[in-house]
Amino acid sequence: MSRTDLIADAFTMIRNAMMAKKETVDIPASNTLKTIMGILKKESYIEDFKLIEDNKQGIVRVYLKYIAAKPAIRNIERVSRPGLRLYVKHDEMPPVLRGRGLALVSTPKGLVTDKEARELGVGGEIIGYIW
C-alpha cells in the first residue's frame, strides 16, 4: 500500500495516540515531518522528538506532552491536502482559535507558523491547524 499523504497520516497517528494517552508515538520520517515536529517542540505542543534509523526511511519518535492529565494538543488537523490545496496571501492569513492555536504554513522561506509568516510578509500553502 502506498502512502500519498504522509502529513495527514502523521497527524492521525498523533491524534490517536493522544486519545489513547500514550507516552510516545512512532511516525515514518520525512524532512517535512522533522520540520513540523521541530515547530511543535518550539511552540511546546510536544515534549521532544528523536530520529531513529532503521535502514529504510527512518522513524520519528514523538514524546507527547500532557498538562494536568490532558493532552497539550487538543486538536490537530490537515487543511491543505493532495486533492485540494489551500493557498493564502500574507495579509489573508487566518487566525486559529482567535490566536490561541497555530497554523503551519509552507512558504518560500520554509515551513513556518502563521505568526512568523505574517512577520516575514510571505504567504503560502496552509498545511494544518493545531490547538
The CATH class of the 79-130 domain is: alpha beta
Rg of the chain on CA atoms, in Å: 15
- Beta 76-78 vs 124-130: how paired, if at all? antiparallel
The predicted pLDDT at position 1 comes to 41
Low-confidence ranges of the chain (pLDDT < 50): 1
CB 26 within 8 A of CB 57: no
CATH of the domain spanning 6-71: 3.30.1370.30
CB 110 within 8 A of CB 116: no
Domains of the chain, residue spans: 6-71, 79-130
The predicted pLDDT at position 4 comes to 84
Asked, colleague to colleague, whether 6-71 and 79-130 share their fold, the answer is no
In this predicted model, what pLDDT tens digit does every residue of 54-66 receive, in sequence order? 888 899 999 999 9
**Burial call 83-116: b when 16+ CB within 10 Å, e when fewer:** eeeeebebeebeebeeeebbbbbbbeeebbbbbb
The predicted pLDDT at position 11 comes to 97
